[in-house]
Structure 1
Amino acid sequence: MTDRAQLVPLVEAFGAARVLVVGDIMLDRFVTGAVERISPEAPIPVLRVEAESAMLGGAGNVLRNLAALGASCRFVGAIGDDEAGREVLALLAEHPTVAPELVVEPGRRTSIKTRFVAGTQQMLRADREDTAPLSATAGEAVVTAVNRSLGECDLVVLSDYGKGVLGGGIAARIIAAAHEAGRRVIVDPKGTDYSRYRGAHLLTPNRAELAQATGMPTATDADIVAAARALIAGCGVDAVLATRSRDGMTLVFADDAHHLPTEAREVFDVSGAGDTVIAAVAAALAVGADLAKAARLANVAAGIVVGKVGTAAAYTAEVVAALHRQDLSSAEAKVLSLPQALDRIAVWRRTGRKVGFTNGCFDLLHPGHVALLAKSRAACDRLVVGLNSDASVGRLKGPERPIQPEAARAAVLASLASVDLVVIFSEDTPLALIEAIKPDVLVKGADYTVETVVGADVVQANGGRVLLIELEPGHSTTATIARMNGKAASPS
Structure 2
Amino acid sequence: MFRAPEDVSHAIESQFGGKRVLVVGDLMVDAYLWGDVSRISPEAPVPVVRLNRKTVTLGGAGNVLLNLVGLGLPATAAGFVGDDDGGRQLGQMLEQAGISSAGCVRLADRPTTTKTRVVSGHHQMLRLDEEGVGPVADEGVKRLIDAILGQLDDASALILSDYAKGVVTAEVCQAIIPEARRRGIPVIVDPKGFNFQKYAGATTMTPNLREFEIATGLEAGYDSETFQRAGSDLRERLGLEYLVVTCGDKGIRLFDKAGWSQFPALAREVYDVSGAGDTVIASLTASIVAGLDLDDAMRLANVAAGVVVGKIGTTPIQSRDLRDAVRDTQLLEQPRKVYEAAELADLIQSWKSRGDRVVFTNGCFDLLHVGHVTLLAKARACGDRLVVGLNTDRSVRQLKGPTRPVVVQGDRAQVLAGLASVDAVVLFDEETPLELIAGLKPDVLVKGGDYEESQVVGGELVKSWGGRVAIIPLVEGRSTTKLLEKSQKDPNGNRRAG
TM-score bracket for this pair, using the shorter chain length: 0.5 to 0.7
**CA distance in structure 2 between the partners assigned to 1:8 and 1:149 by the alignment:** 30
Residue 194 (structure 1) aligned to one of 189, 196, 199: 196
Aligned position for 1:391:
none
Matched-pair identity in %: 37
Q: Is the 8 A contact 1:19 1:72 kept in 2?
A: yes
Asked if 1:242 corresponds to 2:248, the answer is no
Residue 311 (structure 1) aligned to one of 287, 294, 314: 314
SS at match of 1:150: helix
Q: 1:291 to 1:141 in 2, by over 3 A?
A: farther
Which consecutive unaligned segments of at least 5 residues does structure 1 have? 356-380, 385-409, 423-438, 442-464, 466-492
Aligned position for 2:9:
8
Offset, 1:270: 0.4
**CA distance in structure 2 between the partners assigned to 1:211 and 1:254 by the alignment:** 21
Query: Normalising by structure 2, what TM-score?
Result: 0.67
Offset, 1:353: 8.4
Residue 282 (structure 1) aligned to one of 282, 285, 293: 285
After superposition, the C-alpha distances for 1:212-262 in whole angstroms (9 at most, x for unaligned) are 222214776545433322321332222211111111111112441111111
Offset, 1:286: 0.6
Q: 1:322 to 1:138 in 2, by over 3 A?
A: same
Amino acid at match of 1:285: I
RMSD after superposition: 3.6
Q: 1:209 to 1:270 in 2, by over 3 A?
A: same
**CA distance in structure 1 between the partners assigned to 2:13 and 2:111 by the alignment:** 39
Q: Is the 8 A contact 2:30 2:56 kept in 1?
A: yes
Name the stretch that deviates more: 29-38 or 253-262. Answer: 29-38
Q: 1:108 to 1:216 in 2, by over 3 A?
A: same
Residue 276 (structure 2) aligned to one of 245, 249, 273: 273
**CA distance in structure 2 between the partners assigned to 1:122 and 1:262 by the alignment:** 27
Aligned position for 2:340:
334
SS at match of 2:292: coil
Larger Rg: 2
Q: Is the 8 A contact 1:26 1:58 kept in 2?
A: yes
Aligned position for 2:231:
228
Q: 1:346 to 1:275 in 2, by over 3 A?
A: farther
Q: Is the 8 A contact 2:170 2:198 kept in 1?
A: no
Q: 1:328 to 1:216 in 2, by over 3 A?
A: closer
**CA distance in structure 2 between the partners assigned to 1:277 and 1:134 by the alignment:** 29
**CA distance in structure 1 between the partners assigned to 2:246 and 2:426 by the alignment:** 31
Q: Is the 8 A contact 2:32 2:118 kept in 1?
A: yes
Aligned position for 1:105:
107
In the TM superposition, 1:86-105 aligns within 5 A as: 86-96=88-98, 98=100, 100-105=102-107
Q: 1:266 to 1:223 in 2, by over 3 A?
A: farther
Offset, 1:157: 0.5
Q: Is the 8 A contact 2:4 2:296 kept in 1?
A: no
In the TM superposition, 1:403-482 aligns within 5 A as: none
Aligned position for 2:156:
154
Residue 170 (structure 1) aligned to one of 169, 172, 190: 172
After superposition, the C-alpha distances for 1:129-181 in whole angstroms (9 at most, x for unaligned) are 11433322221222122222111111110001101011151011110110222
Offset, 1:46: 3.0
**CA distance in structure 2 between the partners assigned to 1:13 and 1:307 by the alignment:** 25
After superposition, the C-alpha distances for 1:388-421 in whole angstroms (9 at most, x for unaligned) are xxxxxxxxxxxxxxxxxxxxxx999x9999x977
After superposition, the C-alpha distances for 1:354-397 in whole angstroms (9 at most, x for unaligned) are 99xxxxxxxxxxxxxxxxxxxxxxxxx9999xxxxxxxxxxxxx
Offset, 1:271: 0.8
Offset, 1:122: 2.0
Q: Is the 8 A contact 1:34 1:50 kept in 2?
A: yes
Amino acid at match of 2:193: G
Aligned position for 1:144:
146
Offset, 1:295: 1.4
SS at match of 2:212: helix
Amino acid at match of 2:233: A
Q: 1:242 to 1:296 in 2, by over 3 A?
A: same
Q: Is the 8 A contact 1:4 1:323 kept in 2?
A: no
**CA distance in structure 1 between the partners assigned to 2:98 and 2:183 by the alignment:** 26
Query: Normalising by structure 1, what TM-score?
Result: 0.68
Q: 1:104 to 1:238 in 2, by over 3 A?
A: same
SS at match of 2:213: helix
Q: Is the 8 A contact 2:103 2:151 kept in 1?
A: no
SS at match of 2:34: strand
SS at match of 1:86: helix
Q: Is the 8 A contact 1:354 1:382 kept in 2?
A: no
Q: 1:80 to 1:197 in 2, by over 3 A?
A: same
SS at match of 2:96: coil
Q: Is the 8 A contact 1:217 1:223 kept in 2?
A: no
**CA distance in structure 2 between the partners assigned to 1:279 and 1:109 by the alignment:** 27
Q: 1:222 to 1:146 in 2, by over 3 A?
A: same
SS at match of 1:93: helix
Q: Is the 8 A contact 1:335 1:411 kept in 2?
A: no
After superposition, the C-alpha distances for 1:82-105 in whole angstroms (9 at most, x for unaligned) are 100111011111112545431001
Amino acid at match of 1:334: E
**CA distance in structure 1 between the partners assigned to 2:165 and 2:68 by the alignment:** 21
Q: Is the 8 A contact 2:3 2:296 kept in 1?
A: no
Offset, 1:204: 0.3
Aligned position for 2:39:
37
